[in-house]
Amino acid sequence: LLGQKFLAQKDRPRGPKNPTKAPPARAEKIRPKSQKCVIIPFMRVLIPKQLTNARMLGILKGLRIASLKLPAAAEGRLIGKRYKANAKAFASRRKKIIADGGFIEYQDAFDDMRYGLATVRHSGCEVIAAYNVLRGMTGRTPDFAKLIATFEKRGMILYGGLGTDPGEMKAFFMEQGFSVEEYTDTEEFLANERQARDRRAYVLTFYNDRENLLKGIHTVAVTLGEDGFYLHNDGGKRAFGPYGSIGQIVLCYDRMRAGMISILRISC
């Protein structure tokens, strides 16, 4: 999502083998004060710290609505053309994905699939999360190229340059017949989280660094398996898990300086 092109893969919070261990601090290049502008410090610090999560979601929605659109006929032709190319690209790796459990991991490998004017590698984390939730909730293999086309029509921000509006993900799952609860307050979510092991999945959208917006926003899916919760598409080539609870994953991110923006609980 936002600013992902600024984010190296190694900089993302991950579900580590030792979730209590935070990544080592990295030295930052010190520049003369004369080279610093007002906008960059504002984006780095003030946006994550001063904007409420609800307001940040509102800004992303506003950017989606404000994005200029092509005439419907022209847009349809472009989406159809990309769908054919994406379907062909996904077909070449579908067998391996199914053999590995059917979930999409390691987003960086998807630089051959388009999402608007961007690629799935750079801006497709929300679409991947939608795919993984559907896989976890239904046991079926969704048509990933069709999912991309669906969100190109209704959820892209700036032609995919800034990813997908998280609010459209909530609407999408509700249209699929699921019950969806949205939280923008982590403490409220943890307090209300049920421990009953019913069939459910989660979508987590967060700042990669709660003190630096320029390190981007990422979205992941969490599914419930027979032996616990699994975290998908967070930097590894395999899912991380099992975890004993969704709360363990959320708190792990907090220890690693990520900042939760929204949590969707999807259930049947």
Query: What confidence tens digit (pLDDT) does each residue in 170-184 have?
Result: 999 999 999 999 999
Quick check: 260 pLDDT over 90?
A: yes
pLDDT of residue 179: 94
Please state the rounded mean pLDDT for residues 150-157: 92
Query: What confidence tens digit (pLDDT) does each residue in 206-253 have?
Result: 999 988 888 889 999 999 998 999 999 998 889 999 999 999 999 999
Least confident segment among 86-100, 140-154, 192-206, 249-263 = 192-206
Q: What is the DSSP string of the chain?
A: -TTGGG--GGGS----SSTTPPPPP-------GGG--SHHHIIIIIHHHHS-HHHHHHHHHHHHHHS----HHHHHHHHHHHHHHHHHHHHHHHHHHHHTTS----GGG-TTSEETTEEHHHH-HHHHHHHHHHHHHHSS---HHHHHHHHHHHTBSTTTTT-B-HHHHHHHHHHTT-EEEEES-HHHHHHH------SEEEEEEEESSTT-GGG-EEEEEEEEETTEEEEESSSSSS-EEEES-HHHHHHHHHHTT-EEEEEEEEE-
